[in-house]
Amino acid sequence: GHLSSGNGGKFQHPKLLLKAHPTTTSLPIAEIGVGTTGFGIFFILFGMLLYFDSVLLAFGNLLFLTGLSLIIGLRKTFSFFFQRHKLKGTSFFLGGVVIVLLRWPLLGMLLETYGFFNLF
């Protein structure tokens, strides 16, 4: 067999042409997690722009944490947040999420920010 396909001198192997277009339509979990995390960050920023709207901030926090766990997995998420040397940052960050969910958005975001900088 000839390896030329008659398309202007470009050589292509026939078996390689079959693998060029995947037929799967489902997205991997990590890509869904990236989108969910992106929407979470968008809602957090939009909630801060609208004078710390508690509903948008709470929804953004939940989307962000869900997306993070979809990207790196539940086990790695828990092992990251609950390491002994990161418990202070984790408690402030997750405590801030709870405070935002209880409709104290400014205090909750301050606690989250402090916890975020302690985690990273």
**Cα 105 from chain centroid?**
21
Query: How many residues are present in the chain?
Result: 120
Query: Are the beta carbons of 93 and 115 closer than 8 angstroms?
Result: yes
pLDDT in tens, 4-55: 555 665 666 555 555 555 544 557 899 999 999 999 999 999 999 999 999 9
pLDDT tens digits, residue range 86-116? 999 999 999 999 999 999 999 999 999 999 9
Judge contact between 57 and 100, C-beta under 8 A. Answer: yes
Q: Enumerate the domain spans of the chain.
A: 28-119
